[in-house]
C-alpha cells in the first residue's frame, strides 16, 4: 500500500510504512529499512520520470539537502525519538492548516533550498524527506507530472545521502538489509498499482490526496510519540 501511494503521487511511502516499522523494529533500523526500499522504488520509476523533471528545482532542492542532512544527524544525538516526532508533527500540522487556508507561496530559489534543507534534516532524523516538499509544493502551482517526477528523482539523491550518513555515523546491520530485501517484492507490486492509479487521478484529486498525506503524517508522528 505504501509503495502504491508513493508511485502514484511521489509521496507517502514513509507516512504509511515508517510508523508501522517503528512498532516492530528499533528506530534506526526502521529508518534504514524505509530508506532502502524507498531508494529501490525511486530507481525503478526513474526511466519514466526523467523527461518531466524540473532540473532547476531539482538542483535547488539538492543544494538545500546537502546542508540539511548533517543537521538531521545532529538532531538524532541531541533529541530523543519522541521529542523529534512531536516537534515534526506539530510543525507539519500547523503548516498544513496554512495550505488548507489556500495560502499561496511564490516559488523562489531560496524557498526551494529551504525546502530541500528541511527535507534533508527529516531524512536522517526520521526517514521522512517528503513532508517539507509536499507542504511547499501544495502552495505553488506545479502540475502533478512535474511534482511527482521531480520529487521521486530528488529522493534518489536524498535517500542515498541519508543512507550514507546513517551507516557512517550510526552503523547498519546485515539483518536490516535482509529485511528490506524480503519486503521488496511487495514494493514492486505496489509500484505497478501506483502507475495505474496515477493515470486515473485528476489534478484536483492529486492535491487532495497530498494534503491528506500531510495530515496523516502529522497525526501519526504525534500519536506514535505518545505510545
Each residue's pLDDT expressed in tens, for the chain with a length of 227 residues: 888 877 777 766 777 777 778 778 887 788 889 889 888 888 888 888 888 888 999 999 999 999 998 988 888 777 777 777 777 777 777 767 766 666 666 778 888 899 899 888 888 877 778 778 877 777 677 777 888 888 888 988 988 888 888 888 888 889 999 999 999 999 889 888 888 888 887 767 776 776 777 777 777 777 777 76
Query: For residue 131, what is its C-alpha cell?
Result: 513532508
pLDDT of residue 59: 93
Q: Which domain holds residue 217?
A: 2-225
pLDDT of residue 221: 72
Report how far apart, in Å, the C-alpha atoms of 179 and of each of 29, 34, 36, 165, 182 are: 10, 10, 10, 20, 5
pLDDT of residue 130: 77
pLDDT of residue 101: 66
| Domain total in the chain | 1
Query: For residue 203, what is its C-alpha cell?
Result: 489534478
Report how far apart, in Å, the C-alpha atoms of 64 and of each of 20, 56, 75, 95, 168 are: 29, 13, 17, 19, 21
pLDDT of residue 95: 66
Amino acid at each position: 500500500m505504501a509503495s502504491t501511494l508513493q508511485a502514484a503521487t511521489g509521496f507517502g511511502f514513509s507516512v504509511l510504512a515508517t510508523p508501522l516499522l517503528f512498532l516492530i523494529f528499533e528506530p534506526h533500523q526502521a529508518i534504514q529499512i524505509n530508506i532502502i526500499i524507498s531508494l529501490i522504488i525511486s530507481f525503478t520509476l526513474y526511466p519514466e520520470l526523467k523527461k518531466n523533471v524540473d532540473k532547476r528545482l531539482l538542483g535547488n532542492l539538492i543544494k538545500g539537502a546537502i546542508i540539511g542532512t548533517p543537521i538531521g544527524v545532529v538532531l538524532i544525538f541531541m533529541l530523543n525519538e519522541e521529542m523529534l516526532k512531536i516537534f515534526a508533527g506539530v510543525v507539519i500540522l500547523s503548516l498544513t492548516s496554512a495550505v488548507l487556508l489556500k495560502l499561496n507561496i511564490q516559488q523562489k530559489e531560496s524557498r526551494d533550498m529551504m525546502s530541500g534543507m528541511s527535507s534533508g534534516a527529516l531524512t536522517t532524523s526520521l526517514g521522512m524527506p517528503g513532508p517539507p516538499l509536499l507542504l511547499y509544493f501544495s502552495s505553488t502551482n506545479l502540475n502533478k507530472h512535474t511534482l511527482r517526477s521531480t520529487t521521486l528523482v530528488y529522493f534518489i539523491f536524498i535517500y542515498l545521502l541519508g543512507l550514507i550518513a546513517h551507516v557512517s555515523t550510526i552503523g547498519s546491520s546485515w539483518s536490516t538489509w535482509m529485511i528490506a530485501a524480503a519486503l521488496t517484492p511487495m514494493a514492486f507490486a505496489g509500484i505497478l498499482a501506483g502507475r495505474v492509479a496515477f493515470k486515473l487521478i485528476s489534478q484536483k484529486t492529486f492535491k487532495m490526496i497530498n494534503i491528506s498525506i500531510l495530515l496523516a503524517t502529522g497525526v501519526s508522528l504525534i500519536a506514535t510519540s505518545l505510545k
